[in-house]
Structure 1
Amino acid sequence: MARGPRERSSSSAFLTPSRARTGSCPSPARGPHFPPPKPTDEQSTLGSEEWNPWEGDEKNEQQHRFKTSLQILNKSTKGKRDFQVQIWGKAAIGLYLWEHIFEGLLDPTDVTAQWREGNSVVGRTYYSFITGPAVVPGYFSVDVKNVVLILNGREKAKVFYAIQWLLYVQNLVQTQKLQHVAVVLLGNEQCNNEWINQFLKRNGGFVELLFIIYDSPWINDLDVFQWPLGVATYRNFPVVEASWSMLHNERPYLCNFLGTIYENSSREALLNILKQDGIDKLCWVSVREQWQPQETNESLKNYQEALLQSDLTLCPVGVNTECYRIYEACSCGSVPVVEDVMTAGGCGNTSAHQQAPLQLLKSMGAPFIFVKNWEELPAVLEKEKTIILQEKIQRRKMLLHWYQHFKTELKMRFTNILESSFLMNNKGY
Structure 2
Amino acid sequence: MRLPRKPLCLFLIALYGLFSLYAAYHVFFGRRRGAPAASSRGLRKGAAPARERRGRDQSTLRSEEWNPWEVDEKNEQRHRFKTSLQILNKPTKGKTDFRVQIWGKAAIGLYLWEHIFEGSLDPADVTAQWREGNTIVGRTHYSFITGPGVVPGYFSVDVNNVVLILNGREKAKVFYATQWLLYAQNLVQTRQLQHLAVVLLGSEQCSNEWISRFLRKNGGSVELLFLVYDSPWVNDVDVFQWPLGVATYRNFPVVEASWSMLHNERPYLCNFLGTVYENSSRQALMNILKQDGNDKLCWVSAREQWQPQETNESLKSYQDALLQSDLTLCPAGVNTECYRIYEACSYGSVPVVEDVMTAGSCGNTSAHHSAPLQLLKSVDAPFIFIKSWKELPAILEKEKTIILQEKIQRRKMLLHWYQNFKTELKMRFTNILESSFLMNNKG
Answer yes or no: same fold by TM over 0.5: yes
1:69 Cα offset (Å): 5.2
1:246 aligns with 2:272: no
Describe how 1:29-178 pairs up with structure 2 within 5 A.
77=92, 80-178=95-193
Distance 1:63 1:95, change over 3 A: closer
2:230 alignment partner in structure 1: 215
Residues 1:391 and 2:406 are matched in the alignment: yes
Specify the alignment match of 2:363 in structure 1: 348
* Counterparts of 2:381 and 2:79, CA distance in 1: 42
Q: Which residue is equivalent to 2:315? A: 300
Instruction: Measure the CA separation in 1 of the matches of 2:181 and 2:430.
Output: 22
2:9 corresponding residue in structure 1: none
Give the conservation status (yes or no) of the 8 Å contact 1:81–1:126. no
Letter in 2 for 1:85: V
Deviations 1:315-337 (A, max 9, x none): 00000000000000000000000
Deviation string, structure 1 residues 190-221 (Cα, Å, up to 9, x no partner):
00000000000011111000000000000000
**Counterpart-to-counterpart distance in 1, 2:260 and 2:86:** 38
Q: What's the counterpart of residue 321 of structure 1?
A: 336
Mapping 1:167-316, distance limit 5 Å: 167-316=182-331
> Counterpart amino acid of 2:208?
N
Deviations 1:21-70 (A, max 9, x none): xxxxxxxxxxxxxxxxxxxxxxxxxxxxx969997997898688668757
State the Cα deviation string for residues 289-327 of structure 1 (Å, max 9, x = none). 000101100000000000000000000000000000000
Partners of 2:69 and 2:333 in 1: how far apart?
65
Equivalent pair of 1:336/1:369 in contact (CA under 8 Å): yes
Structure 2: which amino acid aligns with 1:291? W
Partner of residue 408, structure 1: 423
Q: Distance in 2 between matches of 1:267 and 1:61?
A: 56
CA deviation after TM superposition for structure 1 residue 425, in Å: 1.1
Distance 2:126 2:119 in 1: 14
Secondary structure at 2:223 match in 1: strand
- Could you tell me how far apart the structure 2 residues matched to 1:68 and 1:273 are? 59
- Paired with 1:156 and 1:68, the residues of 2 have a C-alpha distance of 52
| Greater C-alpha radius of gyration | 2
C-alpha separation in 1, matches of 2:77 and 2:234: 53
Quote how far apart the aligned CAs of 1:71 are: 7.8
From 372, 378, 381, give the equivalent of 2:387.
Answer: 372
What residue is the counterpart of 1:362 in the other structure? 377
C-alpha separation between the residues in 1 aligned to 2:212 and 2:166?
14
Q: How far apart in 2 are the matches of 1:67 and 1:352?
A: 49
**For structure 1, which runs of at least 5 residues remain unmatched after alignment?**
1-49
- CA distance in 2: counterparts of 1:67 and 1:383, whole angstroms: 47
Describe the shift of the 1:388–1:56 C-alpha distance in structure 2 as closer, same or farther (beyond 3 A): closer
One-letter identity of the residue aligned with 1:333? G
Tell me the CA shift for residue 348 of structure 1. Answer: 2.1
Between the aligned partners of 1:424 and 1:192, the Cα distance in structure 2 is: 31
- Name the aligned partner's letter for residue 432 of structure 2: I
Change (3 A) 1:57 1:265: closer
Relative distance call for 1:55 and 1:97 in structure 2 (3 A) is closer
Letter in 1 for 2:163: V
Contact 1:256 1:313 in 2 (8 A): yes
1-structure distance, mates of 2:201, 2:141: 24
State the secondary structure of the residue aligned to 1:291.
Answer: coil
C-alpha separation in 1, matches of 2:386 and 2:87: 55
Identity %: 81
TM-score, normalised relative to structure 1:
0.84
Q: What CA deviation, in whole Å up to 9, does each residue of 1:365-406 have, x standing for no partner? A: 000001100011101100000000000000000000000010
Q: Deviations over 1:213-257 (max 9, x none)?
A: 000000000000000000000000000000000000000000000
Give the aligned length: 378
- Identify unmatched segments of 5+ residues in structure 2: 1-65
Q: Given residue 169 of structure 1, which amino acid in structure 2 is its aligned partner?
A: A
